[in-house]
């Protein structure tokens, strides 16, 4: 992380300890395009598992984000967690009258 900060690719998020963001959307897009498909799938798997642990206290509130990462990692992790979080995200979207979003899940 420190190397990425020193190269001005990412920066610490204001007011958020140990949280980073890309300095610009084009930096994120360029780096994302350079990642191979198999590496990308593995990265999403690691992200999904880490976020599930990070959000453990209120995991259902983050169901949509988790469903996204589990869908991107389906080839590695299978469909069990993807289905679980997709269902929760869909139900939450329905409860919020976000019908188009619910359809996606």
What's the confidence (pLDDT) of residue 34? 76
What's the confidence (pLDDT) of residue 80? 97
Query: Which of 2-11, 58-67, 71-80 shows the lowest per-residue confidence on average (mean pLDDT)?
Result: 2-11
What's the confidence (pLDDT) of residue 42? 94
Instruction: Read off φ and ψ for residue 22, nearest 5 degrees.
Output: -70, 150
Specify burial of residue 66 (Cβ count, 10 A radius: 0-12, 13-18, 19+): buried
pTM recorded for the entire structure: 0.70
68-96 confidence digits (pLDDT tens): 999 999 999 999 999 999 999 999 999 99
Nearest-5° Cα angle at 25, 23 to 27:
65
Three-state SS at 23 = coil
Mean pLDDT of 55-72: 96
Q: Which residues contact 97 (CB under 8 A, 6 or more apart)?
A: none
Three-state SS at 34 = helix
Q: Is the pLDDT of residue 1 over 80?
A: no
Instruction: Read off φ and ψ for residue 81, nearest 5 degrees.
Output: -70, -35
What's the confidence (pLDDT) of residue 73? 97
8-56 confidence digits (pLDDT tens): 888 988 888 788 898 999 988 887 777 788 888 999 999 999 999 999 9
């Amino acid at each position: 992380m420190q190397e990425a900060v020193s190269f001005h690719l990412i920066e610490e998020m204001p007011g958020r300890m140990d949280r980073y963001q890309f300095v610009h959307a084009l930096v994120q897009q360029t780096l994302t395009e350079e990642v191979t498909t198999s590496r990308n799938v593995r990265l999403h798997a690691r992200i999904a598992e880490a976020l599930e642990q990070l959000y453990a206290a209120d995991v259902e509130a983050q169901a949509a984000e988790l469903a996204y990462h589990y869908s991107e990692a389906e080839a590695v992790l299978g469909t069990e967690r993807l289905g679980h979080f997709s269902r929760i995200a869909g139900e939450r979207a329905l409860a919020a009258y976000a019908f188009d979003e619910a359809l996606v899940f």
